[in-house]
């Protein structure tokens, strides 16, 4: 494991930059080649709080964004505005608005998909790609709605549960802080109950969440940050990403089966459900990620890998960046 730099850069700076059709809130630290950090659901730029200073100290300009629909970024009302092509456009727009021409892009959860597709569609801009928790799966295959409808038998897979506008919002927004605490705790390591991802008929997703507060890696103050953002914005924008998957399937058809050829990285918790139901995608990396530099499955770790194991993930990211996207010529 490489040693972490000891000299810390100045603290993070918040800014909002214009992109086509809206704005993206960014939190920036350090100087050097640009590294774009993209969060997943249900999070925000804050999920990268541990890695921002580490990447900056290694000689990079680390920028964590609020994805469209989250935090201080634009939240269009139209569900169609959240399709993958629009989110890739936001990522390209951020790079341009920051005065850069290229970047390494690293994503977690849905952010992993955004990072992967940004690298796939715009390899001229995104010259290295890191994916956390969700492995790269090339476009194509069966229609997503058909796949999720077939999962769980009489119970609903959570992605299907999220499809109807207003349904999941009504559950979550009735107790934002409690729902987030249960979601973060339930999907944390060292073990995750697979039943958490399925909703029985007439039940709520939260019915299977643990009820003893946030996990050990998340302080009450951290939970206040997440809850405060979602209390202000609501969940419709965040959930709308799940509601465009069939549209993405159509939009991305020209890239069906395409590999990612840039230098890449994958990090996942061994207890994460993605490591199980997407195991075939991980096994396919020699074909789908021919530029893969390293892949890591962290034991006793759940879905929130960069928050559950912040020091280890920070070190892995810096080690990979030094090979895939050097700060110095």
134 within domain boundaries: yes
**pLDDT range class, residue 7, cuts 50, 70, 90:** low
Average pLDDT over the chain, rounded to whole?
A: 95
50 within domain boundaries: yes
Q: What is the domain count for the chain?
A: 1
**pLDDT range class, residue 2, cuts 50, 70, 90:** very low
Contact 210, 186 (CB under 8 A): yes
**pLDDT at site 127:** 98
Read out DSSP for 121-149?
H-TTTEEEEEEESS----S-SS-HHHHHH
**Mean per-residue pLDDT for 182-198?**
95
Does 109 participate in catalysis according to the annotation?
yes
pLDDT in tens, 84-98: 999 999 999 999 999
* pLDDT reading at 3 higher than 50: no
pLDDT in tens, 105-155: 999 999 999 999 999 999 999 999 999 999 999 999 999 999 998 987 889
Burial of 28 (0-12, 13-18, 19+ CB in 10 A): buried
pTM of the full predicted structure? 0.96
Instruction: Please give the Cα distance from 177 to 235 (Å, whole number).
Output: 12
**pLDDT at site 123:** 98
* pLDDT reading at 5 higher than 80: no
260 within domain boundaries: yes
- Virtual torsion, Cα 87, 66, 100, 93, nearest 10 deg: 30
* pLDDT reading at 299 higher than 60: yes
Phi/psi for 50 (5° steps) reads -80, -35
279 within domain boundaries: yes
**Mean per-residue pLDDT for 322-327?**
95
* pLDDT reading at 10 higher than 90: no
* pLDDT reading at 329 higher than 60: no
pLDDT in tens, 253-298: 999 999 999 999 999 999 999 999 899 999 999 999 999 999 999 9
Instruction: Please give the Cα distance from 115 to 256 (Å, whole number).
Output: 17
291 within domain boundaries: yes
pLDDT in tens, 39-81: 999 999 999 999 999 999 999 999 999 999 999 999 999 999 9
1 within domain boundaries: no
**Mean per-residue pLDDT for 198-222?**
95
**pLDDT at site 9:** 77
Please report, for the domain that includes residue 23, its CATH number. Answer: 3.40.50.1820
Nearest to 187 by CA among 172, 209, 169, 161: 209
Distances, alpha carbon 10 to alpha carbons 3, 15, 62, 181, 307, in Å: 20, 15, 12, 31, 22
2 within domain boundaries: no
8 within domain boundaries: no
* pLDDT reading at 311 higher than 50: yes
* pLDDT reading at 328 higher than 80: no
Does 108 participate in catalysis according to the annotation?
no
Write down the catalytic residue from 25, 39, 108, 303: 303
Write down the catalytic residue from 66, 109, 248, 272: 109
**pLDDT at site 18:** 97
Its domain, for residue 276, covers 13-324
**pLDDT at site 143:** 96
**Mean per-residue pLDDT for 6-30?**
90
**pLDDT at site 255:** 98
């Amino acid at each position: 494991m490489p040693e972490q730099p000891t000299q810390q850069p100045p603290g993070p700076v918040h800014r909002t930059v214009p992109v086509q059709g809206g704005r993206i809130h960014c939190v920036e630290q350090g100087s050097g080649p640009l590294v774009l950090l993209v969060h997943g659901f249900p999070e925000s730029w804050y999920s990268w709080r541990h890695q921002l200073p580490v990447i900056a100290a290694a000689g990079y300009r680390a920028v964590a964004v609020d994805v469209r629909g989250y935090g201080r970024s634009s939240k269009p009302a139209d569900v169609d505005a959240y399709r993958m092509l629009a989110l890739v456009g936001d990522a390209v727009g951020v790079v341009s608005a920051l005065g850069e021409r290229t970047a390494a892009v690293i994503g977690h959860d849905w952010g992993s998909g955004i990072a992967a597709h940004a690298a796939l569609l715009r390899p001229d801009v995104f010259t290295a790609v890191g994916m956390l928790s969700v492995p790269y799966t090339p476009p194509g295959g069966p229609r997503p709605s058909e796949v999720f409808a077939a999962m769980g038998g009489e119970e609903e897979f959570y992605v299907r549960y999220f499809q109807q506008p207003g349904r999941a919002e009504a559950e979550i927004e009735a107790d934002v802080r409690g729902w987030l605490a249960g979601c973060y705790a339930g999907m944390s390591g060292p073990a995750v109950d697979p039943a958490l991802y399925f909703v029985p008929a007439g039940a709520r997703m939260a019915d299977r969440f643990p009820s003893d507060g946030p996990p050990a890696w998340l302080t009450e103050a951290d939970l206040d940050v997440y809850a405060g953002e979602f209390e202000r914005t609501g969940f419709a924008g965040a959930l709308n990403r799940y509601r465009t998957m069939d549209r993405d399937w159509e939009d991305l058809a020209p890239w069906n089966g395409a590999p990612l050829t840039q230098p890449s990285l994958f990090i996942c918790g061994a207890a994460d459900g993605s490591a199980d139901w997407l195991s075939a995608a991980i096994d396919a990396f020699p074909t789908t990620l021919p530029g893969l530099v390293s892949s890591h499955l962290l034991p006793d770790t759940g879905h929130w890998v960069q928050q559950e194991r912040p020091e280890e993930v920070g070190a892995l990211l810096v080690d990979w960046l030094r090979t895939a996207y050097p700060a110095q010529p």
